[in-house]
Chains A and B, each alone.
Chain A
Amino acid sequence: MDDFAALVRRHQSHVCAILYRYERDHQKLEDLAQETFLKAWRSLESFDGRAPFQHWLSRIAVHVALDHLRRERRRRNDIGLPDLGEHALEWLRSEDERSELGAREAAELLAVAMRALSPAEQLVITLQELEGRSVKEICERTGSSSVAVRVRAVRARVKLRRALERLEKGEK
């Protein structure tokens, strides 16, 4: 167990960085990170060492994130969308190409728009656009075929753009 504690110390930042793309609340984020390491601990025997441990752990984190998105989707149907900051909405409506948006506001804006997407679509667009993963890497992490990933990515981009346009018009 001491060896596993060392692994936790080494990889906890990486796991949290992955999960933060899907959950912005700090307490929930740590719960998801804990769930990821618990699952890793329980299935440690299935790690064959062919790929680096971090890749194997990332795959578990992605599946934990997907389960979380599915749970949240059912829950959020009842509570509606949170309010966005004024600056984010101003940026969204602005025609000025030089206007800039902070990283935090941009991430919050994207997180709100992403709710229009299915959990699987959120996963693909996050891995592809925010983490810069290739289709092959997304297939490895999600277990989906390359055709499914490509189709989902195209569909997700269209939905994301439409969601942002609705926010721009103040429709939510």
Chain B
Amino acid sequence: MNEEKLQRLIGAARAEPAPEVSPGFEARLMHALRRDERSNPASLFDQLGELFPTVSLAAALVIGLCVAADLCLSTLGPMDLSEGVTQVSEQWLFAVK
């Protein structure tokens, strides 16, 4: 087997087209992917990581609502939240003195 003949053989083999993928390949693959996902559920950290943007947004909204409520109450009513807390602590926590 000389070099030239080896090259002819390789050249001929290179020209061989790959077979077409069978029509059901994609469906079978996606089925296998779903099965794989079910058998390897995401860890707690992964789930928390996925939920993090939603949870942080919800927390920011709750904080915003609380601040807004406090501001509204302090302008409408006689007492804001900090004064209320001070009063409660004076009446209850330091009542013994």
Contact = CB atoms under 8 A, between A and B. Distances in A.
A127 to B, nearest CB: 12
A13 B16 CA distance: 14
B30 to A, nearest CB: 6
B11 to A, nearest CB: 8
Contacts of B6: 157, 160-161, 164
B84 to A, nearest CB: 49
A9 interface: yes
A70 B32 CA distance: 24
Interface residues of B, number: 27
Given A20-B19, A41-B36, A34 B13 contact: no
Nearest to B10: A129
Contact of B18 (A16, A38, A132): A16
Contacts, number: 90
B29 A16 contact: no
A110 B10 contact: yes
Contact of A109 (B9, B17, B22): B9
Contact of B16 (A1, A29, A34, A104): A104
A100 B12 contact: yes
A121 B20 CA distance: 27
A130 B18 contact: no
Specify which of A4, A41, A168 lies most central, judged by the most chain B CB atoms within 10 Å of its CB: A41
Interface string B15-46: 11111111001101110111010000000000
B96 interface: no
Interface string A75-117: 0000000000000000010000100111111110110000000
B34 to A, nearest CB: 8
Given A30-B21, A103-B12, A105-B12, 15 more contacts: A1-B33, A5-B26, A9-B26, A12-B26, A16-B19, A20-B18, A29-B19, A30-B28, A38-B29, A102-B12, A103-B15, A106-B12, A109-B9, A110-B9, A157-B6
Interface of A: 1, 4-5, 8-9, 12-13, 16-17, 20, 26, 29-30, 33-34, 37-38, 41-42, 92, 97, 100-107, 109-110, 129-130, 132, 157, 160-161, 164-165, 168
